[in-house]
Amino acid sequence: MAAVNWPREEALKILSQHPNNDRPILFETGFGPSGLPHIGTFAEVVRTLFVLQALKAEAPDREAKLFVFCDDLDGLRSLPENVPNHELLRPHLGKPLSAIPDPFGTADSFSGHMNGKLREFLDQYGFAYEYKSSTQAYRSGAFDQGLKAVMDRYDKVRELFVSTIGEDKREAWSPFFPICQSCGKVYTTRVLSVDPGNYTLDYACDKDEAAYKSCGHQGQMSVLGGNAKVGWKVDWALRWFVFGVDYEMYGKDLMESASLSGKICRALGGKPPVPYKYELFLDESGAKISKKIGNGISMGQWIKYAPLGALLHFLLGNPNKAKKMGLPILPKLVDEYLQSARTETAGELFSAPWFLSQIQHQPLQDTPELASDLTYSLLFNLSEALSIFEAPLLYDYALKYDPKVGEQSEFYLDLCQRICRLALDQKEVAQEPEPLSLDLTFLPQLQKLALHLESLGDQVTDGEELQTYLFGLAKELDLNPRDWFAFLYGALLGKAQGPKIGPFFAIMGPKRALAMVTQALERIGG
């Protein structure tokens, strides 16, 4: 059984840089609640927990904890495509996310709804973390020490930052973003001057954007107590400095930002955390997933259509490889988890089941969780092909195909429920597929297949034996098996690809398989 090495490698790296057991090791992840949280948001938390569990295994005497930090004092620059009530939100563009109404009407603010969804998901499965709010950290004074350090080292911070931006923007740049005392917006203000001795600044609210306007107010304020915030690259350094963060992950698109934030953290007198850069998630078409667009798979969809273990197993894969996710490839992702669950055990240190059990606080079993070879893909294709949308009926097919399913009946009943939801939802939104071009060279072999299925009658069939028979039909005429199976998918399912046909026929039974083949022959004139 293969161990999953990357979390352990990260844990050893952290321990080498923090050998003294003088305080807890602090992990941090950040979340920008500008839209509904997606899997990328959840992934950063889970992957960090994998590293934290590996660290505890390597150093059981070391205390470690995780902060999940919500950037809810950031402003909303544009309207997310996947949230309702745009007219309610439009007047509040430019304001902090924690000061904008919830478009869903269930929370006290826009950010309250978004981070509530993330926390609900984390809490539902017992993940251990401590929630931190940017708004609370600024307004409670928790960041005041760091804000004073920014003001005390104003010129150095400014020097580091302006070297990374265009010359036309350098003169006006300030690390501070005043929150206008009149209109409450944060992205319409600019700093006119600073008074480091008193930790105050003068500002004007006069920066208009296409989506929102300034109010023209001018004033003076203390930079402490939540009156102003710092821009996010400085804010990142501020958190590291104030909290003493030891480890944080970030996407490869933030490499330059992380480098700059590390320099600013050192300028403030702190030590930046051990970093870990990961590749980005892509949707099934290869596009970067986005909270505002809502592509990829949402956390709600994972909960609805797949076991949590499948998501955790997916996230345990090497983060340095870009990963595609989307509803069309969800069955494949779940099957990879099922394969691990029937071949590996949680009792083996650093195995995939070990990590999944550890972060869910489950007992470590010395036997595989599953015994059946049945796959999500096979059951999903059966549900689609026969319009089976009732979990008990789909479960009956599964149990007849493989009696081992009964050994984990609760798991497979739940799996069938999720599969039926996906199949039904996909049916409701499905568009009429483009007709596939079929190679009629294979028509005689399809007719032979019909005769073979008819000869089987009601007898129970073995999926692998049927698969071998199908390969034999291709070999009879020296035909390419790949082309033959592509023809079967197109003729029987109207798809370019599909399940392993032998087991697919076996689970539905010879009579239903014969009916499917007969209908295909009638459609294509055989």
**Could you tell me which residues are annotated as the binding site for ATP?**
291
Q: Compute CA distances 228 → 91, 144, 180, whole Å.
A: 21, 11, 9
**Phi/psi at 69 (5° precision):** -100, 125
What are the strands, taking DSSP E only, across 159-231? 176-178, 189-195, 200-205, 218-222, 228-230
Q: Which helix (H) or strand (E) holds 148?
A: helix 144-152
Do residues 129 and 67 lie in contact, with contact meaning Cβ atoms separated by under 8 Å?
yes
How far separated are the first and last CA of the chain, in Å rounded?
Answer: 49
491, 438 contact by CB (below 8 A): yes
**Count of Cβ atoms closer than 10 Å to residue 24 Cβ:** 12
Secondary structure of residue 228 in the 3-state scheme: strand
Residues 6+ apart with CB under 8 A from 101: 88, 89, 92, 109, 110
Residue stretches of the annotated binding site: 291
Q: How far is CA 356 from CA 77, 133, 319, 366, 369, in A?
A: 38, 28, 16, 14, 12
Q: Other C-beta atoms within 10 Å of 28: how many?
A: 25
Residue 397 three-state SS: helix
Pairing state between β 189-195 and 323-324: unpaired
Q: How far apart are CA 193 and CA 200, in angstroms?
A: 9
Per-residue CA distances from 326 to 114, 291, 304, 323, 500 (Å): 21, 14, 14, 10, 21
Return all residues near 135 (Cβ < 8 A) that are at least 6 apart.
Answer: 72, 73, 96, 98, 111, 226
Q: How far apart are CA 20 and CA 14, in angstroms?
A: 11
Q: Where are the alpha helices (DSSP H) in 285-408?
A: 299-305, 308-316, 330-343, 352-359, 376-386, 391-401
**What is the Cα–Cα distance from 5 to 351, expressed in whole angstroms?**
9
**DSSP-derived secondary structure letter, 440:** G
